[in-house]
Amino acid sequence: MSESARPAVLGQNQYGKAETRVVRITRDGAVHHLKDLSVSVALSGRMEEVHLRGSNTHVLTTDTTKNTVFAFAKQHGIASAEEFGILLARHFVSSQSAISTARIRIEEYAWERVDAPGCGTARHSFVRSGQETRTAQITFDGERLEIVAGLKGLVVLNSTGSEFHGYIKDRYTTLKETTDRVLATEVNARWRYGRTDADWDACYRGTRELLLHAFAETYSYSLQQTLYAMGSRVIGQRPEVEEIRLSLPNKHHFLVDLAPFGLKNDNEVYYVADRPYGLIEATVLREGAEPGIPVDLTNL
């Protein structure tokens, strides 16, 4: 049989509504609480019929998956992104025999209260807080529940305590060695939990804090070393975390040459290049744990 005569077969497939933005307000008298999520549902299972023969018999529509997100927000509330994702994932797999796996990806945007003096007891004004986005991915295949939490867009900077030298110099190397540089990055992290119930908000806050503390406390000889210090701090201090993957763009701060103006630049004036940027990525695991977080975090 020639190559072109070998028939096509259907490979991995999934479908669902992406980026359903749901805001859930809970009213506790005059004090209101707000949760703001973007929920993406991806379902897979016996979907040969729809792809190969155009039969929609096994298709729970993407429109229905979107409606389910809204209905569950009303009926169950949103205790945490993880809790909400677990409910949805279990629902899709247990209610439809054709669906064997549900993957729910959630981004959460944080809001905090505006405590204006003139507002009295009516506590219903909020301001978007936190530059970073909290993320959660819940996957249920009918047996195993996998919970991967994370954050993205957490920008941090050390204005000293960072050196970079001793690297390979070949004929193309122009980078100058330094014993005092600015180290800045945007923390993008995913961590996989080894259990399926926990105080997810406390786990998130604790992990975020450890990442920040390790970044601040590590005297750095490279962003790679800082990354490992951050990841191993989490593995060392959060027993519920089995594995963490970090993707850290090096937000290069270059000293501006002020000599043409007759000025000395004593590590004071920098220009920040947004691209190209070094991209340092690694997984830190608990010894013996099987790696489960995909290498490429871009769309996670």
Ligand X SMILES: O=c1[nH]c(=O)c2[nH]c(=O)[nH]c2[nH]1
Q: What positions carry a catalytic annotation?
A: 17, 62, 252
**Per-position x/- string for 232-251, each x denoting binding to ligand X as judged by CB under 6 A, each - no binding:** ------------------x-
Task: Give least dist CB 294 to ligand X, A.
Answer: 22
The residue of the chain with the least Cβ separation from ligand X equals 223
**Burial grade of 298 (CB within 10 A; 0-12, 13-18, 19 or more):** exposed
Report helix, strand and coil shares of the chain as percent, to nearest 5.
Answer: 25, 35, 40
Please give the Cα distance from 57 to 59 (Å, whole number): 6
Task: Give least dist CB 202 to ligand X, A.
Answer: 32
Alpha helices in 77-185 (DSSP H): 81-95
Task: Give least dist CB 278 to ligand X, A.
Answer: 5
Nearer to ligand X, 88 or 184 (CB): 184
Please give the Cα distance from 147 to 143 (Å, whole number): 13
Please give the Cα distance from 47 to 51 (Å, whole number): 7
Nearer to ligand X, 164 or 204 (CB): 164
Does 215 help bind ligand X (rule: CB under 6 A)?
A: no
Of 175, 258, 272, 273, the one binding ligand X (CB under 6 A) is 175
Of 40, 139, 222, 283, the one binding ligand X (CB under 6 A) is 222
Q: Which residues, in sequence order, are bridge partners of residue 20?
A: 39
Nearer to ligand X, 141 or 281 (CB): 281
Instruction: State how beta strands 241-250 and 133-140 pair.
Output: unpaired
Nearer to ligand X, 40 or 250 (CB): 250
AA identity, residue 174? T
Nearest to 188 by CA among 77, 76, 280: 280
Residue 287, both tokens: 């010894």
Please give the Cα distance from 19 to 38 (Å, whole number): 5
Task: Give least dist CB 180 to ligand X, A.
Answer: 14
CA count, 13 A, side-chain hemisphere, 181: 25
- Residue span binding ligand X (CB under 6 A) among the ranges 43-51, 140-148, 218-226, 290-298: 218-226
Task: Give least dist CB 220 to ligand X, A.
Answer: 7
Nearer to ligand X, 202 or 273 (CB): 273
Q: Which residues bind ligand X (CB under 6 A)?
A: 164, 175, 222-224, 250, 278
